[in-house]
Amino acid sequence: MDRDHPIDFTGRAVLVTGGTQGIGAAIARAFLAAGAQVMVCGRRAPASTPSAGGREAVFRAADVRDPAAAGALVVATAELFGHLDVLVNNAGGSPDADAATASPRFVEKVVALNLLAPFYTAQAANLVMREQPDGGSVTNIGSVSAHDPQRGTAAYSAAKAGLLGLTRALALEWAPKVRVNHITAGPVRPPTSTARPDAEDAAAADVIPMRRQAEPDDIARACLWLSSPLSRYVNGADLAVHGGGEIPARQLARTLFSSS
């Protein structure tokens, strides 16, 4: 582990769903850098798995929308590392779709990925963690859409709102052995964005108090804290990692009209 790292996960085992790219890969690298052993999953094998601190994450193909596959993934992780201390339910997302014309199949797939898959994986993880002396921690990666839906996100927003409710319910049922928390993530700049970062931040500065979009590492650091002993009494929490949220449209309108 990096001696300057503020949180030590040496000897800890971590599972990150959807951990092969984007936010998930950043989360996996953060835990690796902190000394953890990390398993990542996805439906297809990546060209390379996340690495940091001289270690590389282990990849296992799994579609966590399938409860049997989610359960097998958790069992394989616990068997490989000898235990499972941290689960980060990161897999999720959805393309925009008009609520009036979205097909039943589309809605089912979005809800399955963003709500049912975290439920299935958390259920399996709880079976392992509750038998361990130190229990475990589950962090669900949510979205500002759960609180403030945007056009084209009806199914996604509903699923993410459900994920927040699920977090609170599981935190109530599984404490004190297993803590369950939620991160409300704001807009995150894709690592491979084709737009210029300064142009993106200039646009974000108009609506986000922190004057920029989140970096994947911002979400990863929040996961480290929620999974560490530093947050040992934090359970059922919704940690906002959105730079202060978007400035309300009515406030922007007042600013616009007052300056005209």
Active-site residue list: 156
Edge-first strand order for the sheet with 178-185 is 58-61, 37-42, 13-17, 86-89, 136-143, 178-185, 238-241
Query: What is the helix (H) or strand (E) element at residue 61, kind and residue range?
Result: strand 58-61
Cα separation, 167 vs 179, whole angstroms: 10
Q: Which residues are bridge partners to 239 per DSSP?
A: 183
* Distance in angstroms (rounded) separating the CA atoms of residues 144 and 147: 5
**The Cα angle at residue 168 between residues 216 and 159, in degrees rounded to 5:** 60
- DSSP3 helix / strand / coil % (the chain, rounded to 5): 45, 15, 40
Q: How far is CA 177 from CA 105, 213, 233, 236, in A?
A: 37, 35, 11, 13
